[in-house]
Chains A and B, each alone.
Chain A
Amino acid sequence: MTADRSAAAIAAIRINGVDCPVPADPRMSLLDLLRETLHLHGTKKGCNQGACGACTVLVDGERIVSCLSLAVQHAGRSVTTIEGLADQHGLHPLQQAFIEHDGFQCGYCTPGQICSAVGMAAELKRGVPSHVTQDLASDHVAFSPDEVRERMSGNLCRCGAHNGIIDAISETYAEAAE
């Protein structure tokens, strides 16, 4: 949670482990910085108004929509995009699960879905309740398909791959949640 906010760090945004200069024009969204300046085209521009979730990335581990976020606000913070999830050993387990469960057709929403699900798993682990959580007082939220559907409602898939997406997320995270 506590990002390094020293003067040197504030001059840059750390993106997938690499420091990038903050754009001179404060109008640039984090999404446009990723795609237009850094050519990280994994993060997608769908609606550009926060409705579809295709541009979801992780900032200091928390999922946000990069289209409604000015890049300059992220000085000193650490951003992870879909390009930053895999390591040298291969795909992130959730990426592999999306392949195995047909969690996409055209693939346009997929990077946002996967980044969102990674953020969602951390929220579940922390015990963050959702709209469908019955017992607000409990520290533990039981993993269920209904919880996943509600928590992933900010990511739309117009191909209709939602069932495969829920299956992929459930396989990857259900056991860890128990």
Chain B
Amino acid sequence: MTPFDYSRASDVADALRMGAGVQAKFLGGGTNLVDLMRETIERPAALVDITGLPAEITERDDGGLVIGAAVRNTALAEHRTVRTRYPVLSRAILAGASAQIRNMATVGGNLLQRTRCSYFYDDAGSRCNKRQPGQGCDAIDGFNRNHAILGASEACVATHPSDMCVALAALDAVVHLEGRGGARTLPLVELHRLPGDRPDLETALQPGELITAIELPAQPIAARSTYRKVRDRSSYAFALVSVAAALELDGDTVKDVRVALGGVAHKPWRALEAEQALRGGKVSEAAFRAAAEAELAHAVPLSCNTFKIELAKRTITAVLGELAGAAR
């Protein structure tokens, strides 16, 4: 680990001032950043500890929630309102990492965690455009079973590892930011970028900008929602494919629906084509399958992950079927 200065911020203004240096990074639970620093993939000159910032979950009058960026993953998953009104979010968080890591990890840090692509981690022996722009990508022709099938580029086929973000994408979450230019908000689905020819640029954050909170709009549809994660072992593993979904029926008709996918792209993947195919249509397994086909029509497999396309289709179909069954 290369040397760095450590400071602890007591409020947002404090954090922005301390984090203004070019090579400063904000530190949450450290579960990803400390690991990357030990591997010398991250080499910040300064760490600004923001775990002392407000860690509150506030219910708004309209039924929405505002979640402080320093809230720990466990605290969000166990929150009564989240469990009852946004169960997909509790389920997604509880499907990720281990209990110890969920106790440490912050919500803001979860959004900014980096890919677990093994070539990205292999600083000593592999080429990676994310680590070193222009170097090349050893994953494209390598062992890419865990890699992307949607939205990838010739420069990068890495996936975003978060489960929580997949639920947030389905829930139309909004990210609250503060920086030198003031405060702004950004839809969660616009926070993360597709790789294009600059996979090293992972988010829409400006230099020194801080995530202060995540806002969940009131979403009656979210009361009937769930998360399913398919992985190589039943606990403590990253997703091969995951699906966050919510479904609202009017008799046999789909009144409204939300679908997002994890494990398939460089960002949490909101499945708008599947949603459009379903909205206003009749409920049936065939309709769910057709919607999944529509979403995966643009999928491009790599040498080791063709299975992910069919797996994603089946998982979408199964999760929507589960939600429809619960609705009847």
Chain A interface (Cβ < 8 Å from any Cβ of B): 26-27, 29, 48-50, 53, 56, 62-65, 68-70, 72-73, 116, 119-120, 123, 126-131, 133, 136-137, 149-151, 153-155
Cβ B100 vs Cβ A70 within 8 A: no
Cβ A116 vs Cβ B38 within 8 A: no
Cβ A136 vs Cβ B83 within 8 A: yes
- Residue B103 lies at the interface, judged by CB distance under 8 Å to chain A: yes
Contacts of B235 in A (CB 8 A): 131, 149-150, 153
Contacts of A137 in B (CB 8 A): 83-84
Q: Which chain A residue has the least Cβ–Cβ distance from B46?
A: A26
Ordered by A's residue number, 21 sampled pairs between the chains whose C-beta atoms are within 8 Å are A29-B34, A63-B100, A65-B100, A65-B101, A68-B30, A69-B34, A69-B104, A70-B6, A72-B49, A123-B99, A128-B78, A129-B77, A129-B78, A129-B94, A131-B95, A136-B87, A136-B91, A137-B84, A149-B235, A153-B99, A154-B99
Q: Cα distance A176–B314 when bound, in Å?
A: 41
B123 nearest CB across to chain A (Å): 14
The residue from B1, B35, B99 contacting A50, defined by CB atoms under 8 A apart: B35
Q: How large is the interface on B (under 10, 10 to 19, 20 to 34, 35 or more residues)?
A: 35 or more
A32 nearest CB across to chain B (Å): 11
Cβ A153 vs Cβ B98 within 8 A: yes
Q: Cα distance A9–B71 when bound, in Å?
A: 23
B115 nearest CB across to chain A (Å): 15
A39 nearest CB across to chain B (Å): 22
Contacts of A154 in B (CB 8 A): 97-101, 236
Cβ A116 vs Cβ B100 within 8 A: yes
B211 nearest CB across to chain A (Å): 19
- Given contact pairs A56-B100, A68-B101, A127-B78, a sample of 15 additional A-B residue pairs in the complex whose CB atoms are under 8 Å apart: A29-B34, A49-B35, A50-B98, A65-B101, A68-B35, A69-B29, A70-B6, A70-B27, A72-B6, A72-B49, A128-B74, A129-B77, A131-B95, A149-B235, A153-B98
Say yes or no: A48-B38 contact (C-beta < 8 A), given A62-B103, A70-B6, A128-B78: yes
Cβ B31 vs Cβ A68 within 8 A: yes
Question: Shortest 5 CB-CB distances between A and B: which pairs?
Answer: A154-B98, A153-B235, A26-B6, A153-B236, A136-B83
Q: Cα distance A150–B103 when bound, in Å?
A: 15
Cβ B99 vs Cβ A119 within 8 A: yes
The residue from B4, B30, B35, B91 contacting A73, defined by CB atoms under 8 A apart: B30
Q: Cα distance A154–B51 when bound, in Å?
A: 23
The residue from B4, B51, B87, B104 contacting A26, defined by CB atoms under 8 A apart: B4
- Residue B315 lies at the interface, judged by CB distance under 8 Å to chain A: no
Contacts of B3 in A (CB 8 A): 27
Q: Cα distance A5–B268 when bound, in Å?
A: 37
Q: Cα distance A115–B232 when bound, in Å?
A: 27
Say yes or no: A64-B98 contact (C-beta < 8 A), given A70-B30, A126-B78: no
Cβ A131 vs Cβ B94 within 8 A: yes
Contacts of A73 in B (CB 8 A): 27, 30, 49, 51
